[in-house]
Structure 1
Amino acid sequence: MRTLLIVALALLAACSQQPTRVSDSGPVWVPTEKDGAPADILDPNSIADAVPQPEVIRLAGNSNPYTVLGKTYRLVDDHRGFTQRGVASWYGTKFHGQRTANGEVYSLYDMTAAHRSLPIPVYVRVKNLDNGRKAVVRVNDRGPFHEGRIIDLSYAAAVKLGFAEKGTAPVEIEVIDTDNIGSKDRAPDAQYYLQVAAFSQLTSAQQLEASLSSGLPYPVMVASQQSAERAIHRVRIGPLPDYPSVQAAKQALRSRWTGEPSLIVDERR
């Protein structure tokens, strides 16, 4: 009985402060009802890793910067080769069936994770430094916003890594490079743009285009759209080949533009 009590207390301590949900419109506060494990017991040997594959990084879930509980977070400029050490926790029944930051439905049985600053989705290899167990998860959510934790794993991932009962574990995480996966598994071709501003007057858009073109090592264009009521002229940086290029362009833009550009993704299937 004492052992069961200790385990229960560990679970409550680990799961009492879980990620705040983040929607396209911003953070959404979730009431602090208790989280926990499902009634059924999972066999860690039967849990398969997430299968890495190239995926398009869209706007959903990737607001940058974003603010949760009064604190502002920025995504990493380049996630390729990203590694990090720290404490992992997990989230379970409280969030099962709810929407993740990119609009997908969270399942505590899937091999997924939440991270504060990695783009969504990316694949991460997680190593439990206490026992050496490893697992591959797909990041599709934001969190944990509990101080001192670097990643929040699904319950299934915590079981596979051997710390579901303990609640937390020291881990090392490493982003998996999906750029060189076989062509049959490649994601749809996509071109990325940063939309800087929109004008009703073409001359205003052209002036900004000329100003940015003179100081940025990236293509700048005006995309015009005419409707029955009015014309809109959008100043965009691009096309850019991948998400790390988007982040590099955004960094360069900060020295010449005070606003926050929007991410535009043009998928070509």
Structure 2
Amino acid sequence: MTDDPGRVALVQFTGTAGDRNPDGAAGARLLARALAARLGVEAVPVGRERPRLGGTWDAELAAARTDLEAVAERFRVVLAAGAAPVAAINRCAVALATVPVVAQARADAVVVWFDGHGDVHTPATTTSGYLGGLALAGPLGLWASGLGAGLTPDRAVLVGARDLDPPERALVDSTALTLVPPGPDVAEAVAVAVAGRPVFVHVDCDVLEPGIVPTEYDVPGGLSLEDLRRCCAALARTEVVGVEVGEVESRTGDENLTGLVDALGPVLDAAGARP
């Protein structure tokens, strides 16, 4: 593992973080290859795939902790070198480790969280016990994951979420966290919310309309690839601190992710264009 990542460093998370099937890990591998081809860099693997537990958030977090700490350390190295991390991840739960590192290293950056869900449950509000549903709430300091926090609600923009449980909706309504729903003006609204600040971009692919890429959850009413591309173009007008993309499922090993990577192209290019 090199400590000289260049202007952009590609990370492939190869661990298991709340996975309930093998398709997310396969999707991360496929996505890492597509991103490597786009960026012209090799992916650095972090973690190792482990047997799936199918357990509640606490058991899943304990099992994933070593690998999550490793990916957090990789992000620290990359950011300390002045480079931009780009990560292919299996599940949103990986952000429990990555986003606190970004939030602490770049206190000026906004986390733009593309997702069909809110992911702002806590252990006290979750009814499913799914670790990924707590993924943004941990960095926001709403519960103690043991992996850090440091992200304030005014530096979080939730884009495309349309499946919010009542506690999540109440949180959005009562804090400075910004919700940008899907719609024809989504890119313009994202630009207004970011207001020219540096951004770290997190993309859960179930933010897209179902069927565009394979995902574990299908949430109707999502973004099109063109919507995503326009949002990324708006974000690329400011500094892109890093990008992580996950929740792509691969069931055949040869799904075509060209459209997805092209839609992400503006922020990938901006991340690689760092001085």
User: 1 or 2, which has the higher strand percentage?
Assistant: 1
Q: Same fold (TM over 0.5)?
A: no
Q: TM-score, normalised by structure 2?
A: 0.23
Which structure has the larger Rg? 1
Q: TM-score, normalised by structure 1?
A: 0.24
User: 1 or 2, which has the higher helix percentage?
Assistant: 2
